[in-house]
Structures are given as structure tokens and as C-alpha cells.
Amino acid sequence: MTDTALINQVIQLCHRAGEAILDVYNHSAGFDIDTKADDSPVTEADLAAHRILESGLSELLAGVPVLSEESSLPPFAERSRWQRYWIVDPLDGTKEFINRNGEFTVNVALIEAGRPVLGVVYVPTTGVTYGGADGPGAFKEVDGNRQAIAVRSIEARRSAGLPVSVVASRRHGASAVDQLLDKIAAAFGPVETTSMGSSLKLCLVAEGAADIYPRLALTSEWDTAAAQAVVECAGGLVVDTDFAILRYNTKKDILNPFFYVFGDKDVDWRGILS
């Protein structure tokens, strides 16, 4: 199966999961909210999307495991043997879902040797799909119209008199981000900021609508893998605060380090932010 054929089938599964999410989201009677062991919320929409994706992905590539936020986490002794597996966040941005602001996504990535080689991020409320894989590259699909996307040049923005754009989490790491903004402003001048939920922040960098996304708070690997594939296929970088490329399934827990998403790879980010 080619990368293009595979990503098209993953998109179909994500759309089906998105339909199940919207069935709950738009229900006039509302929905129940439960709390998981880590105190994070979960709804029937998370679970409905999980069931669709887990069964569908298991059929796409025989023998390739599926790791979902809503499934149990296998011991690292087992996971460490996985050279290829799916990682899934059936509903990224459950708090945004609960608050009904529309900023939630369905995330699916294929990991090979610790690297996300294929990723789909689907936004159920808008119908927008972001995708990335080694074959088809990075793209954004709206109403069936698929267009290639790419990160943008900061130098081109500065030449046009436009500010550097930083997209940040609405809920996490605000004080640390403020310090980082000061460093960026010292290097480039005016900085504009946008707050947003879920993996959409990485996708904004991938499509050239933002320049930097700093995540200076905890996330899990299923939060980032799909969008990282899109960013990298669009020409950008996702690195930890030591500027090492983010990798997956390398340790017992599935927490990411703090990280940066950069669009323009020609900038000396280490020199500016260190």
C-alpha cells in the first residue's frame, strides 16, 4: 500500500470518528463527563471515537499495534519491541470539547523506529483535515479540496514589516512563555500571539499561519505525534528544549519533554532561546 493510499484510508477513519464525536457534541441533552485515574476528563465522545479508530486501524496494517489514549498502556518491556505502531488521540482537546469552543481534533499517527512517518489531524467542527506523510507530503484538505502546505520564512515576514507570530496553549505554561516571548522580541522585534487548544497549534505552524509554538508544559505522545508528522513534512521542526528532535516510545512513560515547534529551520533558534 502506498503512503497516499494509506493516509487516505486513515482520513476516512478520522472522519468517521469525527462524526461520532459530533453526534455527542451536538446532542441537545448534553453529555456525561467522567474522570480518569490521572484526573483528566473523558466523555462518551472520546470512547466512541476510540472504538472506531482502534478497530479500523487494526485492519489497515496487519500485526501493527494500536496505542490509544483510551486504551491501557502496555508495559515498556512489550512496547520497546514495537518498531511500527499506530498512536491515537481519539479526541485531542477534551476540555475544549466540554467548553464547546470547537478547538478539538482527532489525531492518528504511524510511528516507525520512534519517528512519526504519517499523521492525520482532523477538526470535526470545521471539516478541515491536515495530513502529512513521506510520499504525499503535507497538505490541508477543506471540502474535498486538498492543497499542499508549507512553513513560512521569518525573514520574508520581517521584510514585509510583519510581526513574528507565536501560537501558545490557552491553559498551560503562560509565565515561561512570556519569558520566551521577550527573547523572540529582542531578536526580531514585534511579536503577535494567538492562544488555541489541541494539536491545532502545531498545524498552524505547518501551514505557515504561525512561526513558533512553544510547549512549556506536559503533554503525552499521542497529543503530538500526528501533528509532528504534518509539521515535518511541511518543512518544520519539533524539538525538545535541548533542540533534539522529538522521538516516540523510547522510555517507560509516554510523557513528552517540553518542546518547541519551529517553522523556519534557517533561524538560529538555539542562539536566540538559550
Judge whether 63 and 75 are in contact, CB under 8 Å: no
For residues 8 and 126, membership in a common domain is answered with yes
What does the alpha-carbon distance between residue 82 and residue 199 come to, in Å, rounded to a whole number?
24
Range of the domain at 161: 154-273
**Alpha-carbon distances, residue 14 vs 124, 198, 210, 249 (angstroms):** 9, 16, 25, 23
What does the alpha-carbon distance between residue 163 and residue 150 come to, in Å, rounded to a whole number?
19
- pLDDT tens digits, residue range 61-113? 999 999 999 999 999 999 999 999 999 999 998 888 888 888 899 999 999 99
pLDDT at 55: 96
pLDDT at 29: 60
For residues 136 and 23, membership in a common domain is answered with yes
- Give Cβ neighbours of residue 192 (< 8 Å, ≥ 6 apart): 163, 164, 165, 166
For residues 191 and 244, membership in a common domain is answered with yes
For residues 262 and 217, membership in a common domain is answered with yes
- Give Cβ neighbours of residue 2 (< 8 Å, ≥ 6 apart): 135
CATH number of the domain within which 269 lies: 3.40.190.80
pLDDT at 274: 87
94 is in an annotated binding site: yes
23 is in an annotated binding site: no
For residues 11 and 141, membership in a common domain is answered with yes
Residues of the chain below pLDDT 50: none
pLDDT at 173: 55
Count of domains for the chain: 2
Strand order in the sheet with 212-215: 191-196, 164-169, 212-215, 259-262, 237-240
For residues 209 and 248, membership in a common domain is answered with yes
For residues 144 and 161, membership in a common domain is answered with no
Please identify, among 133, 148, 163, the residue that sits at the C-terminal boundary of a domain.
148
What does the alpha-carbon distance between residue 27 and residue 190 come to, in Å, rounded to a whole number?
43
pLDDT at 100: 87
241 is in an annotated binding site: no
For residues 184 and 66, membership in a common domain is answered with no
Please identify, among 148, 177, 203, the residue that sits at the C-terminal boundary of a domain.
148
pLDDT at 30: 64
125 is in an annotated binding site: no
Please identify, among 132, 148, 164, the residue that sits at the C-terminal boundary of a domain.
148
69 is in an annotated binding site: yes
For residues 165 and 250, membership in a common domain is answered with yes
182 is in an annotated binding site: no
- Give Cβ neighbours of residue 228 (< 8 Å, ≥ 6 apart): 109, 116, 119, 202, 238, 246
What 3-state class would DSSP assign to 201? helix
CATH number of the domain within which 39 lies: 3.30.540.10
93 is in an annotated binding site: yes
For residues 235 and 251, membership in a common domain is answered with yes
Beta bridge partners of 67: 87
